[in-house]
Amino acid sequence: MSGLSRMFQTRPRLYLVEDDDSVRKAIERMLTLLDFHVTTFDSAEAFLESEYRSESGCLILDVHMPGMSGLDLQCKLNKLNPNLRIIMITGKHNEYDHEQALAGGACDFLYKPFDDKTLVNAVYRALERPS
């Protein structure tokens, strides 16, 4: 039994919306090695069109993407699936985005580049957060 299985009743499901292919693959690889079940999307629109938009779990969401932004997706998900935990990530230091994400209910807001431990700790905090 893995550490995650002992910590959670089921293997935690994570979703990752990140338009940068290399960042998306690196995060997916790292979290999969830690025994998380990770489903990735290259755009906010792709996530919204998927059946996962109404599932529980934790969404790691890039703020700045072509098309729909992470903040816009967060706003839509707050109506569609308010129990989905969201961790926002960005490479742009913008206090407005940070404030908007947290005011919108994001569990955490991380600036790229972040180390693996920082992301994993944010994921654990988000998954342990009451609905």
Burial label for 1, CB within 10 Å (0-12, 13-18, 19+), is exposed
For the chain, the first-to-last Cα distance in angstroms comes to 26
**pLDDT of amino acid 130:** 78
**pLDDT score of 11 more than 80:** no
Among 32-41, 55-64, 87-96, 122-131, the range scoring the smallest mean pLDDT is 122-131
How many CB atoms are closer than 10 A to CB 82? 9
Each residue's pLDDT tens digit, 85-130: 999 999 999 999 999 999 999 999 999 999 999 999 999 999 998 7
- Superfamily name and number for 12-128: Response regulator (3.40.50.2300)
Where do the structural domains in the chain lie, given as residue ranges? 12-128
| Helix, strand, or coil (residue 51) | helix
| Helix, strand, or coil (residue 104) | coil
Give dist(CA 3, CA 7) in Å, integer.
Answer: 6
Give dist(CA 65, CA 20) in Å, integer.
Answer: 9
Overall average pLDDT of the 68-88 stretch: 96
Give dist(CA 7, CA 25) in Å, integer.
Answer: 25
Confidence of residue 10 (pLDDT cuts 50, 70, 90): low
| Helix, strand, or coil (residue 86) | strand
CA 27 to chain centre: 11
Overall pTM surpassing 0.85 (yes/no): yes
Comparison of pLDDT for 40 and 10, the residue scoring more:
40
Give dist(CA 6, CA 83) in Å, integer.
Answer: 22
**pLDDT of amino acid 5:** 43
57: left (phi over 0), alpha (psi -120 to 50) or beta: left
